Amino acid sequence: MFNFLKKKVAAHTLASPCNGNAVKMTEVNDPTFSAEMLGKGAAVVPADGKIVSPCDGTITMLFNTLHAVGITSADGIEVLLHVGIDTVNLKGNGFTAHVKQGDMVKRGDLLLTADLDAIKAAGYDPTVMMVVTNTGDFASVESSAPCTAVAGNDLVTVKEK
């Protein structure tokens, strides 16, 4: 009866960073990510090597090995995109950056290109993890995985406290 008195919880969405098959983070073949030690989110087994921004924001970190990029959204969501498991060992081989630290990006902008064949040939899993590293700042971080992921389409919903 008094629903108008209830506070509306703001929700923000993060788009899939690539095309492929989205899986729950807990199913990733890496104990740090699957235990959600870095935060909650989703993972995508990529169909191609184009990694795009899941939100409007600022590039806050670009690893020199180009396998990972950090973005702070306009809504204060801190997102880590990590391409592959143990791909830091490739030392940048197979990765091309299309952004640099400090760049402003829009949802869907190309961030990285990964040579999936080279990653697989080197013996690494190319799964892309999208982690909300400040998960504790929000009421919930929920993924729509498992599903077919389309780069730029909603994949994770983040609700404010």
Return the structure tokens found at 28: 């990733």
Q: What is the DSSP letter of 2?
A: -
Q: Which residues pair with 109 in a beta bridge?
A: none
pLDDT in tens, 75-103: 999 999 999 999 999 999 999 999 999 99
- Opening angle at CA 44, ends 80 and 147, nearest 5: 130
CA distance 26 to 42: 9
116 has a pLDDT exceeding 70: yes
Q: Is 98 a catalytic residue?
A: no
What is the value of pTM for the model shown?
0.93
Burial label, 102 (beta-carbon count in 10 A; 0-12, 13-18, 19+): exposed
User: What percent of the chain has pLDDT above 70?
Assistant: 94
- 8 A C-beta contact, residue 33 and residue 25: yes
Grade residue 4 by pLDDT with cuts at 50, 70 and 90.
low
3-state helix, strand, coil in the chain (%, to 5): 15, 45, 40
